[in-house]
Chains A and B, each alone.
Chain A
Amino acid sequence: MISCTVIFSVTIDGFFNIRNYVNILSNSAFIGILAVGESYCLISGNMDLSFESVAGYSAIFSAWLTGSSLSSSGFDMNPYIALVLCLLVGMIVGLVNSYLILKLKISSFLATLSIYIVVKGLAITLTRGAGVSMLPDSFRLVQTIKIFNISLIPIIMIVIYIIFYFILENTQFGAHLFIIGGNIDAAYSFGVNVKRIISRVFLLSGALAALTGWLITAKANGANPTMASGMLMEVLAAVVIGGVSLKGGSGSLPGVFAGVLLLSSIRSALNIMAISPFITEVIRGLLVLFAIIIDSIKRLYLK
């Protein structure tokens, strides 16, 4: 990650610039927060695909509750009460996910894939596909309040990383995540409460996704039902580049954070170089692949 930043800084005019770094940080906030929830899921040996549509639903839902444009609910709700409701929705989705996985024994991939589609549909149904704008000013505080010229949104992300890093590395809950992801039979046999831990993981992932959606709306000052689309693959890429194993049982949040920043840097570098937008997706994809190949080579030969 650092070497990549250095290379970009040296080779690209205008990359080495505090403002650009602040931009990279700000632009990575949403992907970054979502990646925390996904990392927890993957470390415990599960996969959550539903977070993208939860974030999208939360984005349009919070706008719908608080906005005063034509397609809103007309409740004129306080945005912070709306945040609580969004978090509740996210946690309910998390509960449904864990019910499907734990009680009905559906694989987490399939369970969360179906929920992903359902919630995505719900988001479109809510406003019949229309966007919502004219939100109260208090909604935008996380974007307008700035500390050292950095808005609160990336700061919230950093705080989340610190808290969740601590939980993962220093609590029994975190240790149990690695145990379940490493050997679920051992977890059962040695009295780890597998069901409780996994349902908590999905609760957390749902809540983080809901928070992200709310933040997206706050930043954009409005929402449409497809706000978060495309984030699923971006988050998965960041998490895998960050060294989280898709098989479960390994990964660290500093690594994930680096992965998130790397993706964001690549995007920023491509922007600054003013490469035709038609080709940037291809280049980004190849760069992600490149990062994964380097990581894989490192693991094969440095053992």
Chain B
Amino acid sequence: MEILLRIEGISKSFGSVRALNDVSFEIFQNESVGLVGDNGAGKSTLLKILSGNYLPDKGDIYLNGIKVNFDSPIDAKKMGIETVYQDLLLCTNLNSISNLFIGREITKNYPGLKILQKRKMGEKTFEIMKKFGINIPSLKERVEFLSGGERQAVALGRFVEWGQNLALLDEPTAALGVRETRKVLDLISKIKKEKEELSMIIVSHNIQQVLEVTDRIIVLRNGSIVGIRDKISTSPEEIVGLITGAISI
């Protein structure tokens, strides 16, 4: 397998707080990696560096062997890195179709005028939803009337279509009920199977879930990596031990 993403010696401080300390790891193509750790371990900071929201103080990021610099989320998107944020970043005042196409509306361009191709956008949305078995009662319903799981599905639908290299998922099941969580996990597994070129990094508090949908797990504590474990050779107990510091290396 080829290495998709390599990060080397990433450090980031906020004032006197060291959020990340010399973090290095690799992610292979079509690999799902879980990123776990306690609150304040640096998961979100790391995710935000990869999504282009933060600049690291030190360290390099290589994508497909080429060094990259993300000055903004748009830069990261251009390189095929999509992020599903914890708050989903949906426009609840708009329908699923509009949300799927935020900033990427299909348009017919005339000089000074970009006309929306609403029908094409609707058809494409339907296609994506069908392909991944996402079931939303009406695509034209405003998102504020959708359930938590359906909202998550709309947010996931975005990177299904546009994430070419890497998808970053921040707590995808945090606010969901049991059944909805199940659906979202199934969806993540399905996306992994269908999109062979796509890798994923999933941040979560729930170790059971992470073990279910990922291949490897990276454990952070106090801004440093304290362990990288393969799914087959580890147990939830070991991961918890690493997170809390009960197991030290």
Q: Which residues of A contact B (CB under 8 A)?
A: 170-176, 178-179, 181-183, 185-192, 249-250
Q: Given the complex of chains A and B, what is the CA–CA distance between A174 and B89 in angstroms?
A: 19
Q: Which residues of B contact A (CB under 8 A)?
A: 73-74, 77, 83, 85, 87, 89-94, 98, 102-105, 107, 113-116, 118
B236 CB to nearest chain A CB (Å): 33
- Among candidates B98, B113, B115, B116, residue contacting A179 with C-beta atoms closer than 8 Å: B98
A188's closest neighbor in chain B, by CB?
B73
A180's closest neighbor in chain B, by CB?
B91
A184 CB to nearest chain B CB (Å): 10
Quick one: given A183-B89, A249-B91, are A178 and B98 in contact (CB under 8 Å)? yes
Q: Given the complex of chains A and B, what is the CA–CA distance between A189 and B116 in angstroms?
A: 21
- Among candidates B77, B91, B105, residue contacting A186 with C-beta atoms closer than 8 Å: B91
The answer to whether A182 touches B91, judged by C-beta atoms less than 8 angstroms apart, is: yes
Chain A contacts for B104, CB-based, 8 A: 190-191
Q: Given the complex of chains A and B, what is the CA–CA distance between A74 and B169 in angstroms?
A: 68
The answer to whether A172 touches B91, judged by C-beta atoms less than 8 angstroms apart, is: no
The answer to whether A179 touches B77, judged by C-beta atoms less than 8 angstroms apart, is: no
Q: Given the complex of chains A and B, what is the CA–CA distance between A110 and B7 in angstroms?
A: 45
B70 CB to nearest chain A CB (Å): 13
Interface centre among B85, B89, B94, B103 (most CB of A within 10 A): B103
- Among candidates B87, B93, B103, residue contacting A191 with C-beta atoms closer than 8 Å: B103
The answer to whether B77 touches A191, judged by C-beta atoms less than 8 angstroms apart, is: yes
- Among candidates A172, A179, A190, residue contacting B107 with C-beta atoms closer than 8 Å: A172
Q: Given the complex of chains A and B, what is the CA–CA distance between A188 and B89 in angstroms?
A: 10
- Among candidates B74, B94, B116, residue contacting A172 with C-beta atoms closer than 8 Å: B116
- Among candidates A175, A190, A192, A249, residue contacting B116 with C-beta atoms closer than 8 Å: A175
Q: Given the complex of chains A and B, what is the CA–CA distance between A188 and B104 in angstroms?
A: 12
A172's closest neighbor in chain B, by CB?
B114
The answer to whether A171 touches B114, judged by C-beta atoms less than 8 angstroms apart, is: yes
Q: Given the complex of chains A and B, what is the CA–CA distance between A140 and B94 in angstroms?
A: 44
Chain B contacts for A175, CB-based, 8 A: 98, 105, 116
